Amino acid sequence: MTRSKCCSKRCIYMYRVEGGKVEADYVDWDKAKIHVLSHVIHYSSGVFEGIRGYVTDKGVAIFRGRDHYRRLIRSAKIYRMLPEDYAPEDLKKEGRVKTEDLITRFMEITKDLIRENDLYRKAKKVKEEGKMANPFVYIRPVIYRGYDVKEDPILSPPLGVNPLNNPVEWFIATFLWDDYLGTTAIERGADVITSAWAKNAPSTTPFMAKGASNYATGQLAKMEAVLSAMFRDKDVAGKVKDAINKAREKNYEKVDLSLGLDDLLLPVESIQLTVSGHVAEGTGENVFVVMYEDGDPTKATIYTPPLSASILPGITRDSVIRIAKDLGYPVIETMIPREMLYIADEVFFTGTAAEVTPIRSVDGIPVGDGKPGPVTLKIRERYTGIARGKVEDPYGWVEYVEV
């Protein structure tokens, strides 16, 4: 695979069609652009992935990268974007493309981008400088319907709901990210709400595809969470409000919330329900509920919504189910009523960015003891140990990038 060096040391790989010709190469970060009339901007005709790379002593450990790319290709297929529409020409054999060959090419480009963008060294540097608490490499590939006009675009622009006349394009970007829901959420549990914005019904949007359109209501639910606040003790509300007003007068140079920080709940995420009112997922995470038998955490059963609940078949979700079963926990995929979140002994999120994040309150109601539970912590320890290369990887999930 031939490639051009980036001048800025910040690269994105782009596969685009211009004038009927494919232009595929590593481009400087600031030059990675698409046309404003690209179909994806107007009609959400795009699918994507989020892949995580951990900074380890052996290099950057990409967690289940091939599985993520396999899901990306499947997502595109659901939207009638076939590998033959966007695979590099050298991968097309008699007009067909082998999925595993395309996955390998995507992985090669990803590893090259991580090296070219010097993310291993940069991650260590920002952590040492205190700019990020737990930096990791985030990989974002996108396949989408673009824009290409060979004739006068004023007379016949390729814009309309029908996407079949628009070229299929894609790109891969890599950069650093920090704890998705915040370090506090990881350490003591996340505060969440159940959103008023329901997930689309299964017959309206294909949720087995990680499509851009699936996240339209998720955006509303996310904003609903981060713009809300709840108090365990209402008397604290006024004191906190006064502290914020004083800080506002000083341009927020210092906000003293010590008056009631433990009583202040600042939700960082929403849990969306199905149109029938059952638990679906977070705006970017799958949900698990833990119930003890007779209050004994060693006799716990884990529940999670099924695919029919309009959820994404998460890669981390699959990993956690397999880990939990191997640890001896029964895992049941079933429809979960909203109120089960309130009476559960433990609830936690899973996701590429969220990893395994405990939930300490739902709608202001404490989950269990209001702190991360033993089942969640045990699964999280096992998951992160494998992903970070600290324990044996019996599943073959980790692939290293030498740096």
Is 240 contained in some domain? no
pLDDT in tens, 96-153: 999 999 999 999 999 999 999 999 999 999 999 999 989 999 999 999 999 997 778 7
Q: Both 136 and 222 in a single domain? A: no
Is 285 contained in some domain? yes
Say whether pTM exceeds 0.75.
yes
DSSP code of residue 374: H
Provide the residue range defining the domain that includes 274: 183-229+266-390
Assign residue 323 the CATH number of its domain: 3.20.10.10
Taking the C-alpha atoms of residue 23 and residue 316, their distance in angstroms, rounded to an integer, is: 34
Is 276 contained in some domain? yes
pLDDT computed for residue 339 by the predictor: 98
Q: Both 221 and 158 in a single domain? A: no
Taking the C-alpha atoms of residue 270 and residue 116, their distance in angstroms, rounded to an integer, is: 36
pLDDT in tens, 57-105: 999 999 999 999 999 999 999 999 999 999 999 999 888 999 999 999 9
Assign residue 128 the CATH number of its domain: 3.30.470.10
pLDDT in tens, 356-372: 999 999 999 999 999 99
Taking the C-alpha atoms of residue 373 and residue 379, their distance in angstroms, rounded to an integer, is: 10
Residue given tokens 């608490």 in the structure block: 133
Chain-wide mean pLDDT for the chain? Answer: 90
Non-local CB neighbours of 125 within 8 Å, separated by 6+ positions: none
pLDDT computed for residue 10 by the predictor: 87
Q: How many alpha carbons lie under 13 Å from residue 255 in its C-beta half-sphere?
A: 12
237 or 68, which is more confident: 68
Alpha helices by DSSP H, listed for 256-336, are: 315-326
Catalytic (active site) residue 210: yes
77, 210, 241, 371: the catalytic one is: 210
Taking the C-alpha atoms of residue 71 and residue 74, their distance in angstroms, rounded to an integer, is: 5
Residue 171 has pLDDT above 90, yes or no: yes
